Amino acid sequence: MEKKGSKKQHLGQVIPGPTNPMVTPMLTDQYQFTMAYVYWKAGKHQERAVFDLYFRKNPFGGEYTVFAGLEECVRFISNYKLSEEDIDYIKKNLSVSCEDGFLDYLRGIDCSDVEVYAIPEGSVVFPKVPLMRVEGPIAVVQLLETPFVNLINFASLVSTNAARHRFVAGKSKTLLEFGLRRAQGPDGGVSASKYCYIGGFDATSNVAAGRLFGIPLRGTHSHAFVSSYMSLNDIKNKSLRKKNSSSKCEDFVGLVQKWLKKIQLSKSLRGIFAETNQSELAAFTSYALAFPENFLALVDTYDVMRSGIPNFCAVALALNDLRYKAVGIRLDSGDLAYLSCEVRKCFCSIEKEFGVSGFGKMCITASNDLNEETLDALNKQGHEVDAYGIGTNVVTCYTQAALGVVFKLVEINNQPRIKLSEDFSKVTIPCKKRIYRLYGKEGYPLVDIMTGDNEPSPKEGEKILCRHPFQESKRAFVVPQRVEELLRCYCSGQSDKKGETLPPLKDIRERCIKQLEQMRRDHMRILNPTPYKVSVSGKLYDFIHFLWLNEAPVGELR
Amino acid sequence: MEKKGSKKQHLGQVIPGPTNPMVTPMLTDQYQFTMAYVYWKAGKHQERAVFDLYFRKNPFGGEYTVFAGLEECVRFISNYKLSEEDIDYIKKNLSVSCEDGFLDYLRGIDCSDVEVYAIPEGSVVFPKVPLMRVEGPIAVVQLLETPFVNLINFASLVSTNAARHRFVAGKSKTLLEFGLRRAQGPDGGVSASKYCYIGGFDATSNVAAGRLFGIPLRGTHSHAFVSSYMSLNDIKNKSLRKKNSSSKCEDFVGLVQKWLKKIQLSKSLRGIFAETNQSELAAFTSYALAFPENFLALVDTYDVMRSGIPNFCAVALALNDLRYKAVGIRLDSGDLAYLSCEVRKCFCSIEKEFGVSGFGKMCITASNDLNEETLDALNKQGHEVDAYGIGTNVVTCYTQAALGVVFKLVEINNQPRIKLSEDFSKVTIPCKKRIYRLYGKEGYPLVDIMTGDNEPSPKEGEKILCRHPFQESKRAFVVPQRVEELLRCYCSGQSDKKGETLPPLKDIRERCIKQLEQMRRDHMRILNPTPYKVSVSGKLYDFIHFLWLNEAPVGELR
């Protein structure tokens, strides 16, 4: 067979390197190199191995997971190459004086003989089902284990977390990811921005992520900005041009002050407002002078209802005089449900009293340690929040900081392999497999089924037996209305298969959103969701249990 | 004053860029650029601001934190420069057509006018105390907020987590960090390796981190390695040279088989062992042939006591015949306390029965989802583990995935600033401050005290009043036996101060270990530790409360 480079297989698509330049062949565990050396010494390094990458349990107490991180894996292996410095370091750190032949072998590794099959990125996936099947020379595929698992674990965890936040928030709300500062390191932040977007967030505060991935950016100002102003005297240039006009208001500050007085004296709001904080008023005014078209203020530096809101309204009404529409406010502390309702009431009163159409509908953004639970509580209590800024909880996956993705040998030299364990759930499913998703009449996915690679595929309208891989009594006949084969070829190695092209981020995001919508609601709910069924064919079931008995040592009762 | 570049101030030390090339000026929140534009429009951008970086609560339910991440911050600002592509992107993303003067201003920013004072990296630190004080033009220092907080948050969290694991494991155990695959992204893994080492770990499995930071590497083989062998027939080259000799054993495989039979027939162990797994035996033998000086085997792929241990012992005894000493075993599942004791017994019996000196003392490594709690449980139960491999829990900080480091404005144009909050604990401590650690007679630190920048420093042997910053009744006189000023200058900006040089990683690690040992034990214990006291001077106390009253709006009871 003619040798083909991995890049060629992607229809001429040139695959760039991983987003983070730190993702190199050295980003792996020492034991992968140790094992490579043993395989090489034993002459086993070229043996063809098949590994499955999968997880055992859905995160966050849920019953689904979003698969993400595939593109980074493909980029990684498409550009795999150990440098001379890498090889020197490996040589120095193997605890033997290793032979030069091994170093030459390492020099030659480029992953062009590795095949990668995977479920498309952004798909909804389930435990035990291989998300990726990686085939190639055993020594090479082992070297890929650590980076692949690293790249998939966090990506899938964050996408799932984002999807769960979206589910609770509802489709109509805007979800902003604000987590960079609390993320686990620089690309903990950058990759969280990317994978939150895939999971259904709308925008990020992270400039690096915005640029790298084309995610919309959001951000206005902080508390420090507010307290950096002392008084209105800080504002030197007070003039502001009227929107779409050459006429100018020479004293915008005066206009703001006039409005503040009006508000304070207004009948409908009388008594709500005491004297407002002048630093805050200056900060808001200054912000509006710089961004008259995009005035959005953080209103809780001193006191939301006594200071932040009247100051905001004064500036917004002054802007309105010049034909600018303020965007809204952000709340970052306190009782968000209560405050958002109070703020909405106030905006509506002002709309009515001063005849400013649209004022009541201004955007209320809430932030401050939001998570699934607080979003759910807000919904139950009733609130007027339009947009959520979510940081720590979504980017660090605070309620569950890791997903247990593993990478297991299932076949070598066409011999199926099994890993046993005293812990039942850790037994691996042997054999090179195919995976199908079977859909029911209503269009919902019913069950995923794994079969041996050479079994005939399930057919639409034809009855098929689906068995639980380990529990004898759990089995069911299914007549699928639609059959979807899940694993697709992303790197074709030296085979003749045509590799999938890598879709743009927005397509991955759309796939994710669409697949989530397609799921039966009982799999998605927060409280006691129904597990989605994952099964094996009857033939695969029999083989697993044959192999299991074969490998397990026979004990002795004493 | 003569302008000095930040690099010059470091005694000619050239400061390299951040470890992760993704740490650029773009790794910040969009609102930092938005605010910079407002400041610039208002002519406020050059106003001299002072920000404190601190956290409010120790992580993991403990009463101490290890400060880490400083070097990366210094590297970052010492090489700060926006590229033309950066500036184009910022321009495109500000929601106004921003003026060219602002873009020129951005072009000129190089942080040479920023001063950074910090507690040395690796120090034990406490809530509310500034870990860093950053002074400079407000627009510039705001741009640094997000990257600084990002770089300190996770670094300090992981170092603290590692230190806590070390505390529970005890000084005599070896701690190995095995977390790369479960880490939050590539440099979640790499930085976790670094900061675990600072916190007291001994080695890592992460090759990239080993190379970048000079951390010792560890790693042998995986379960897949074991199951990749079918039988002893897989081994082609069976010869092994005797240690330090030219003589060779031509059939090492035969020697292993001979020993396996001896063990199975041995009186003292009779009945423990059934037939062992032949894949496993082949894998161990193959490993020993490649690494005769460093044979360490993972013994739980099939069954620890029935297969893994007898197979290991057979190979280890065969190696012993050739004068090689096996290193030991790793357990990765099951009841680690029980299994480690059984394994130790078995090793000791073999030492005795076959007269192999040192066999009983071989290293037992345990892994599998270890954390503080399981280490503590192992200690209570009694075990024979010598080394722990810890992954997920230490690198993702699973029990608390984020530290709440914040960055707050405390002074602008020499005017102290305060941020109020309905949440008491979120009120900031205003003023540019100095921090001292006061030590008592026994050499323990007693209390940290913050004073205004111009107050006289506390003196050894002189009584000083230490007040709780917010609670009136909490105050105490202290007569320090030693006074240590905590904040040191790391970037001197345009001042004449001499900046500290950045210490090598091992010095940071030593500082950390030494400081932890110096703490009073009751601050360190796992259950109900005593809080360490953090205070302010009488003068600073009065000033905080004066400013507070001044800024808070006066309400109206209705």
Q: Walk along chain A (558 residues) and give the pLDDT tens digit of each residue.
A: 333 334 444 445 689 999 999 999 999 999 999 999 999 999 999 999 999 999 999 999 999 999 999 999 999 999 999 999 999 999 999 877 789 999 999 999 999 999 999 999 999 999 999 999 999 999 999 999 999 999 999 999 999 999 999 999 999 999 999 999 999 999 999 999 999 999 999 999 999 999 999 999 999 899 999 999 999 998 989 999 999 988 999 999 999 999 999 998 887 666 565 689 999 999 999 999 999 999 999 999 888 998 999 999 999 999 999 999 999 999 999 999 999 999 999 999 999 999 999 999 999 999 999 999 999 999 999 999 999 999 999 999 999 999 999 999 999 999 999 888 777 788 899 999 999 999 999 999 999 999 999 999 999 999 999 999 999 999 999 999 999 999 999 999 998 888 899 999 999 999 999 999 999 999 999 999 999 999 999 999 999 999 988 877 666 655
Residues with Cβ within 8 Å of A265's Cβ and at least 6 positions away in sequence, in order, are none
Residues with Cβ within 8 Å of A474's Cβ and at least 6 positions away in sequence, in order, are A467, A468
Task: Report the Cα B448 to chain-centroid distance in Å.
Answer: 23
A418 touches chain B (CB under 8 A): yes
B522 touches chain A (CB under 8 A): no
Whether the predicted pLDDT of B5 surpasses 80: no
pLDDT score of B266:
83
A308 touches chain B (CB under 8 A): no
A552 touches chain B (CB under 8 A): yes
Instruction: Enumerate residues 362 to 381 of chain A having a beta carbon within 8 A of any beta carbon in chain B.
Output: none
Determine the Cα–Cα distance for residues A456 and B228; give it in Å rounded to an integer. Answer: 28
**Chain B: closest CA distance from residue A253 (Å):** 13
Point out the residue among A34, A151, A180 whose CB comes nearest to the CB of B219: A34
Sign of CA dihedral A463, A467, A472, A475: negative
Q: Scanning the structure block, which residue is given the tokens 């033998």? A: B285
Instruction: Determine the average pLDDT of the residues in B353-365.
Output: 97
Chain A partners of B26 at a C-beta cutoff of 8 Å?
207-208, 211
Residues with Cβ within 8 Å of A171's Cβ and at least 6 positions away in sequence, in order, are none
Point out the residue among A188, A220, A423 whose CB comes nearest to the CB of B184: A188
A402 touches chain B (CB under 8 A): yes
Query: Model confidence over B455-486: pLDDT tens digits?
Result: 999 999 999 999 999 999 999 999 999 999 99
Closest CA to B535 of B474, B490, B486, B453: B474
Report yes or no: A346 and A312 within 8 Å, Cβ to Cβ. Answer: no
Instruction: Enumerate residues 447 to 506 of chain A having a beta carbon within 8 A of any beta carbon in chain B.
Output: none
Determine the Cα–Cα distance for residues B525 and A391; give it in Å rounded to an integer. Answer: 31
Residues with Cβ within 8 Å of A455's Cβ and at least 6 positions away in sequence, in order, are A434, A537, A539, A540
Tell me how far CA of residue B197 lies from CA of B183, B512, B517, B522, in angstroms. Answer: 15, 10, 16, 24
Chain B partners of A22 at a C-beta cutoff of 8 Å?
19-22, 186-187, 190, 208
Angle at B282 between CA B279 and CA B287, to 5 degrees: 125
pLDDT score of A9:
44
Q: Which residues of A185-200 are buried (b: 16+ CB within 10 A; e: fewer)?
A: bbbbbbbbbbbbbbbb
B556 touches chain A (CB under 8 A): yes
Beta strand B387-390 with B363-366 is: parallel
Mutate one of A19, A20, A22 to test the B interface: name it (highest B CB count within 10 A). A22
The pLDDT-based confidence of B9 (bands split at 50, 70, 90) is: very low
A291 touches chain B (CB under 8 A): yes
Mutate one of A32, A34, A557 to test the B interface: name it (highest B CB count within 10 A). A34
Please report which helix (H) or strand (E) contains residue B420, including its range. Answer: none
- Between chains, do B293 and A95 touch, taking CB under 8 Å as contact? yes
pLDDT score of B556:
60
Chain B partners of A151 at a C-beta cutoff of 8 Å?
185-186
Mutate one of B20, B30, B400 to test the A interface: name it (highest A CB count within 10 A). B30
Chain B partners of A396 at a C-beta cutoff of 8 Å?
184, 401-402
Determine the Cα–Cα distance for residues B167 and A365; give it in Å rounded to an integer. Answer: 43
Beta strand A406-412 with A415-416 is: antiparallel
Compute the mean pLDDT over every residue in chain B, rounded to the nearest whole number.
Answer: 93
Phi–psi pair at A497, nearest 5 degrees? -65, 155
Number of Cβ pairs < 8 A linking chain A and chain B: 412
pLDDT score of A454:
94
Whether the predicted pLDDT of B413 surpasses 80: yes
